Amino acid sequence: MKNKYFWLLFPFLEPLLFKDYLEWVDLFFTCGKLIALLIIIIEYFSRYKLSKYLLVVFLYEIWLLIATILNPDGSIVRYCGPTVSVIGVCMYIELIIKKGLIVEVLHILTNTLSVFCVINAITVFLYPQGLTNQGDENYIYFLGLENRFSFYYLPLVAFSGLYSYLKYGKVKLFVYIMSLFNMLILIDKWAVGGMLGMIFMNMLLLFRKSLFSYKIFNSVVCFVIVIIANILLVFLRVQYLFEDFIVNDLGKDITLTGRTLLWDYGLLSFLYRPIWGIGYQDLSSLPVEMLNVGHMHNLFMNVLFYGGLGGMVLFLIIQFNWVKSLMNYRRYFEASILNLCLFAAFIMSLGDTFDSAPYWILVSMSVYINRIVKNV
């Protein structure tokens, strides 16, 4: 039984080296995702009716599909990749939670991501110039570009912490050791976005038992902070007030390594098609600034760019689901660690697009925190 749920989940955890730079391995994982999705759909609908949460997820993906079809340069192939992962992991997590298998799956996630992080560390130390590169010192390792390491590091802290607490009633030393180990890798590569996310996560984890943790850093407060931070950074460009610190201390340029140029393009595209967005386009139709990334380097701008106002409304409804659930259970450790991880992920998403499978796993677990707390 455990092997079955491992193989259903594993394809969705594909390391970014394979996903973005090794097409033949990516094809293997893509086939695995499609097979896993089919099995998950059959097993889910043979037991349960579609939940309200999954209904909104489906509507969000349908909206993006329509936006893609409406765009003459739209690419159904590019649309299918992330959609299969989002629907697959959201249905998978809801299925295993309803079947009472959350501890087993957290064990799978902890072991798998721990192995990935160790392999990544080996590639960092053995190949300082990367296994491959995008030019301009954009070195690629097992988990992709250095600023994307935290796409795996952050969720690992939450998954291992949750597993440890549900299994043993406390956070075991392994969680802190692995978190420190990954933090040192980020410092070594000076991945500022990932460092910020991990610093927030570790500080809040250390002080999780204080009143400060759940009264101040509850899910509502955290999400409001994220919204305000996005407005200040993307729309009001408050970073120009800290130009000296950004340039001289962080070693970044004032455009945040070209991110403000992407946001300008995203805003223009949004104004051109404000309701639907532009959907997923063929990469050849994107401006040169996006050719190597294919996203907006900001989660909320990415949603506006691809899905317009309609997509943003549906995306926010999904977020409000987990914000409400975690707020109701804010005194519980299980809710606290998920909230802290999502908060750290959104802080990191100010300058990146943290919308990979681990993010949607975190969101889905948070929506069903009531079942996780009761472990039923």
Residues 6+ apart with CB under 8 A from 219: 322, 323, 324, 326, 327, 330, 335, 339, 342
Mean pLDDT of 297-308: 93
- Identity of the residue numbered 105: V
Q: Which tens digits make up the pLDDT trace of 160-216?
A: 999 999 999 888 888 888 888 888 888 877 777 677 777 777 776 676 666 456 677
How far lies 44's CA from each of 38, 277, 371, 374, in Å?
A: 10, 31, 17, 21
How far lies 315's CA from each of 57, 59, 142, 321, in Å?
A: 8, 10, 30, 10
d(CA 259, CA 266): 10
Q: Which tens digits make up the pLDDT trace of 93-141?
A: 999 999 999 999 999 999 999 999 999 999 999 988 888 876 666 788 9
Mean pLDDT of 297-301: 91
Cα distance from N-terminal residue to C-terminal residue, the chain: 18
Phi, then psi, of 373 in degrees rounded to 5: -60, -40
Give helix then strand counts, H and E, for the chain. Answer: 17, 3
Mean pLDDT of 31-53: 96
- Relative orientation angle of helices 150-168 and 173-189, to the nearest 10 degrees: 170
CA atoms within 13 A on the CB side of 27: 3
Residue 7, pLDDT score? 93
Residue 200, pLDDT score? 72
How does residue 304 score in pLDDT terms, banded at 50, 70 and 90?
very high
pTM of the model: 0.92
pLDDT > 90: percent of the chain: 53
Residue 290 has pLDDT above 60, yes or no: no
How far lies 37's CA from each of 112, 118, 312, in Å?
A: 19, 28, 25
Mean pLDDT of 13-32: 88
Least confident of 249-253, 286-290, 298-302: 286-290
Q: Where are the domains of the chain?
A: 2-374
Residue 33, pLDDT score? 96
